[in-house]
Structure 1
Amino acid sequence: MRFGFYLRLMGPEANATVLGNGVRRCEEAGLDAVWVPDHIAIPPDDAEGSGGRYLDPLTSLAWLAAGTERIRVGTAALIAPYRAALPTAKAIATIQELSGGRLELGVGVGWMGAEFRALGLDRKKRGRITDETLSFIREAFSAEDDVVVSNSQSFLFRPRPKMPRMWIGGSAPHALARAARFGDGWMPLGDDPEEIGPGSKELFSRFSDAGRGEPEIAAGGELGRAGLQEDLDRLEALSSLGVTEYIHGSRYSDLDSLLRSLEALTSRVEAFRSRS
């Protein structure tokens, strides 16, 4: 199992000092990845805890990758309907190219009605828009001779690095179907083995029916709040369900609390890997 750390892009702690030092310490600690969320337009009545301050995820990942050498950088999750397919694919290709292939692409359909309204989008169409965006991204990264067509216009999609691993977020049946159709894996909500188990079973079945290999699964939660043994038992249970990536997140408020959270994670990682 690989382990990642969820970096907050919201609130005053989303600044160059905390993010820059945080990602470097995650890399030094031997973690496999850092992950960031996606918000674009927080309304005043829903800004508690962030003050409406949110950094852009793709721009942030490019910056984080530039300050590191090995650690992977990923979205958990990029809201596909928020951005047009072509510039999204171009941004993804750019980060993948300049980072040396370290991008992880978690994608979701979104949920916050206010953000859809601010963007002039019909929230009811978010599933269809997501499918169209994912289809375009897949086509762009597999285009013969790098030639892609958008709105009847042919163009060269270059650079065309290796397609990033794509994770489909969500727990609804549509998310599992979308993961089997477009993704390399699934990013469910939470880290409860009992809740993830049925979806994992269905996902493996869908991949098998489609003649694909075994899927990846990324669970997310917070380690260190429970006792060591309870955390290790949870990780063992998740691993038995096919979970290949664990994303640790916490509500840290500054660099010191981020580092304490990182220490809690690394202690669990070391114990888990020793036991395994």
Structure 2
Amino acid sequence: MKFAIAIRNMGPQSNRATIRACARIAEQAGFDALFVSDHLCIPVDQTEGSGGRYLDVLATLAFLAGATDKIRLGVSVLVVPYRPAVLTAKQVATIQELSGDRMILGIGVGWMKPEFAALGADFRKRGAITNETLSVIHHLFSADAPGAYDGPLVKFPSFAFLPRPRHPPIWIGGNGAAAMNRVLKFGDGWHPMLPAAELKVKVEQLNARARAAGRDVPEIVVRRGLKLEDIGAARAKVAAEKEAGATYFILDLGRYPDEQSFGKSVETFMTKVAN
């Protein structure tokens, strides 16, 4: 099992010095990747814990690409219907290029209706928009000179799409059948929010479908908080996730107050739980 960590790109901890320090702590500790979370237009009644302050995830990853050297950089998860498909592909390609192929693209369809309304995005078509965007990303990354694209929601003529770095891994968020179907069609990993007790059966089903389709089984990604003051319980929880089929564990430290607290928790996890 590989380990990654979530870094707060929201709230007062999302200042330049703190997020850079936390990214460097995570890299020095040996985490495989760091992850940030996506919100663009938080309703005023949903601001507990963040105060309404959120940094854009793709801009944040671009910043952190320049502040780090080896750790991978991910989104858990990018709400795809919030953004135009070609623009998203260009931003992803730029981060992948400038980071030296370190990006992980976690994607989701979204859930917060007021945020969709503020952005003028169609909540009812969020699944279809996500599928179309994933199709566009695959199209633009797949050839030296991508031809015209003519889909049900997106159409464009042939154009130069450069730089074209290596395709980043795509991890599909979501718990249901639609998300699992996206994994098999577009993805390299599945990033559900299911408890371990429910995860095992679905992982077995997904892996069986992948093998039947003649493709590699996907990475199974979980994101969890742990009570690090109880090392035994924390170790048991990680072991349960692995037993359920998780291959990748993102540690979420919640609302840590500053980089010093973040660093202490990182040290505890890596020396007493991960090993």
From 239, 247, 255, the equivalent of 1:236 is 239
Q: How many residues align?
A: 269
TM-fit CA distance, 1:226: 6.3
- Structure 2 matches for 1:163-242, cutoff 5 A? 163-189=167-193, 192-225=195-228, 227-242=230-245
The 8 Å contact of residues 216 and 242 in structure 1, kept in 2 or not, is answered as no
**Local SS of the residue matching 1:154:** coil
Map of 2:164 onto structure 1: 160
Q: What do the CA deviations read for 1:78-121 (whole angstroms, capped 9, x no partner)?
A: 00000000010000001101111000010000000111000112
Determine if the alignment matches structure 1 residue 121 to structure 2 residue 121.
yes
Larger deviation, residues 244-253 vs 103-112: 244-253
C-alpha separation between the residues in 2 aligned to 1:193 and 1:39?
A: 26
The letter of the residue matching 1:32 is D
Q: What do the CA deviations read for 1:106-153 (whole angstroms, capped 9, x no partner)?
A: 00000001110001122111000000001110111112x332424241
The 8 Å contact of residues 197 and 244 in structure 2, kept in 1 or not, is answered as no
C-alpha separation between the residues in 2 aligned to 1:105 and 1:62?
A: 13
Q: Could you tell me the percent identity over the aligned residues? A: 45
**Local SS of the residue matching 2:38:** coil
C-alpha separation between the residues in 2 aligned to 1:237 and 1:46?
A: 32
The 8 Å contact of residues 220 and 248 in structure 2, kept in 1 or not, is answered as yes
The letter of the residue matching 2:103 is L
**Local SS of the residue matching 1:258:** helix
Determine if the alignment matches structure 1 residue 82 to structure 2 residue 82.
yes
The TM-score, its normalising length taken from structure 1, stands at 0.93
**Local SS of the residue matching 2:158:** strand
Q: What do the CA deviations read for 1:175-229 (whole angstroms, capped 9, x no partner)?
A: 1111111100100115x32121122112102212221012101111023446323
The 8 Å contact of residues 82 and 116 in structure 1, kept in 2 or not, is answered as yes
Map of 1:72 onto structure 2: 72
Structure 1: 4+ residue segments shifted above 6 A: none
Determine if the alignment matches structure 1 residue 35 to structure 2 residue 38.
no
Root-mean-square deviation over aligned CA pairs: 1.5
C-alpha separation between the residues in 1 aligned to 2:171 and 2:272?
A: 24
**Structure 2 unpaired stretches of 5+:** 150-154
The 8 Å contact of residues 3 and 269 in structure 1, kept in 2 or not, is answered as no
The TM-score, its normalising length taken from structure 2, stands at 0.93
TM-fit CA distance, 1:253: 2.1
